[in-house]
Amino acid sequence: MAPATARPHIRLLGQPLGRVRLRTVLLARWLAVAGQALALLTARFVFAIELSLDAALAVVAASLLLNLMLILARPAALLSERAVAALLCWDTLQLGALLYLTGGLTNPFAILLLAPVVVAATILSRRATFVLVALCTATASFLVFHHRSLAWPDGGLDAPVLYLAGIWAAIVVAAAFIALYAGNVAQEARQVADALAATQMALAREQRLAALGALAAATAHQLGTPLSTIAVVAKEMARDIPGDSPLADDARLLQAETARCRDILAKLAARPEDDPGSPLLRPPASAVVDAAIAAHPTERVRVAQAASGSGPEPRLAATEEIVQGLGNLIENAAQFARSAVEVRTSWGRDGLEIAIADDGPGFASGVLDRLGEPYLSVRTRERDGESIHMGLGVFIATTLLERTGAEVAFSNRPRGGAQVLVRWTRARLDQAAEVT
């Protein structure tokens, strides 16, 4: 099967989970560095609090140096979840080092140990978030017993153990609560965004298909008159040409193809309600595939069908959507196959799968993730001196099949050739059976 325009996968409106722009991370880190330096200098020179200023500024300078290294190494990068988690772990440890030098949990800024947990709960996975919670708990636990006391101007602050235990418990409980609650809220927000993106994508595809339907109906109306003229001329030619003439077969073929075109145009011009009962007709799946093959005959290559599975063969509604969608994919495979197209129907407890495989050149690299978009120009392939353009037929086929609840996937076979998999889950098949 030749390179075709690809069916797009649904993508999120925002960034994928855990991926953040480096610029966003650096902005928060520069604010943290400036705030830490300002707090240290204010405590030392404004409030005259004795502290290990040199060591504390060295810890702040380490974060500043890390920021500069990130700018030089990846100036416009999109950080992965692992990279973001690593930076948040560094921030937790760096803040723990500052608190160790400035009074431990008696320092009012100890509450900032929760900041990395909040960020993690908002943008990272639950696993990464609970790693930050564990690190925050370990850092707070260390600071309860190990820290340098501050020399306050009025004689210092000797906090009782019970008070330190209360501060520790507050930080740990707050970290766990934030991880659970904020994480759930952020996950629900991402799910809503995903659902909105999927709905918008589906609506756009339906609008494009509706526009194509209107265009097809108008085209069917306009082509009716010239096609009738061609049919009359072909009939007269077949009547006037002697039966033993080499042109007799061509005349009969012209008549047959003209009749086929008229049937196709009649279907395009027909309304869905003009075909009563077709959704109620539920033959075996292999029979529906036979109908799709018969509706798109090809003489250049052989189309072989095989059916197998465990349990009773599922039944499909013999609707025009399924027959036309499968037929378009089979016809597309036949256009680019060298000698044969295989259509395998298989079923089991999980559902029904129809595989359409050919022995052609396969899909071109770089277009598999774009299959199914209309009017998307990729590359064309020459066969018998004619340029074959792909895209619209695949878009129509995938859209029609997805409207029936099917999943369509495109791939290249290891031994050569292309393959299209059309799947209906067991739940979808059962749901369709209940409706009909």
Percent of the chain whose pLDDT exceeds 90: 26
pLDDT value for 60:
94
pLDDT value for 156:
59
**CA atoms of 427 and 433, how far apart (whole Å):** 10
Q: Taking 60 as the threshold, does the pLDDT of residue 380 lie above it?
A: no
pLDDT value for 281:
63
DSSP H helical ranges for 49-102: 53-73, 81-101
The DSSP result for 103-137, as a single string, is TGGGSGGGGGGGHHHHHHHHHS-HHHHHHHHHHHH
- Across the range 208-215, mean pLDDT stands at 65
- Across the range 251-270, mean pLDDT stands at 76
Residue carrying the six token digits 């509450």: 111
- Two tokens, residue 205: 């595809």
pLDDT value for 62:
94
pLDDT tier at 424 (50, 70, 90 boundaries)? very high
Most confident range (mean pLDDT) of 131-135, 377-381, 401-405 is 131-135
- Across the range 270-279, mean pLDDT stands at 47
Q: Taking 90 as the threshold, does the pLDDT of residue 311 lie above it?
A: no
The count of other CB atoms within 10 Å of the CB of residue 435 is: 9
For residues 38 and 7, the model is more confident at 38
Per the CB < 8 A criterion, the answer to whether 360 and 435 are in contact is no
Q: Taking 90 as the threshold, does the pLDDT of residue 347 lie above it?
A: yes
pLDDT in tens, 79-127: 888 888 999 999 999 999 999 999 899 888 999 999 999 999 888 888 8
**CA atoms of 419 and 412, how far apart (whole Å):** 6
- Two tokens, residue 245: 């003439």
pLDDT tier at 344 (50, 70, 90 boundaries)? very high
For residues 233 and 202, the model is more confident at 233
With H, G, I as helix, E, B as strand and everything else as coil, classify residue 52.
Answer: coil
The count of other CB atoms within 10 Å of the CB of residue 18 is: 17
- Across the range 405-409, mean pLDDT stands at 89
- Across the range 402-413, mean pLDDT stands at 88
Q: What phi-psi label fits residue 144: left (phi over 0), alpha (psi between -120 and 50 degrees) or beta?
A: alpha
Amino acid at site 313: E
Amino acid at site 185: V
For residues 170 and 435, the model is more confident at 170
CA-nearest of 236, 293, 227 to 263 is 227
**CA atoms of 352 and 288, how far apart (whole Å):** 13
Percent of the chain whose pLDDT exceeds 70: 80
pLDDT value for 260:
78
pLDDT tier at 3 (50, 70, 90 boundaries)? very low
Partners of residue 303 on adjacent β-strands: 341
φ/ψ of 358, rounded to 5, equals -135, 170
pLDDT in tens, 127-155: 899 999 999 999 999 999 898 887 776 66
- Across the range 279-298, mean pLDDT stands at 80
pLDDT tier at 157 (50, 70, 90 boundaries)? low
Contacts of residue 419, defined as CB under 8 A and 6 or more positions apart, other chains included, come to 1, 355, 356, 357, 358, 410, 411, 412, 413
The count of other CB atoms within 10 Å of the CB of residue 348 is: 13
Amino acid at site 149: S
Mean pLDDT score of the chain: 80
**CA atoms of 104 and 273, how far apart (whole Å):** 76
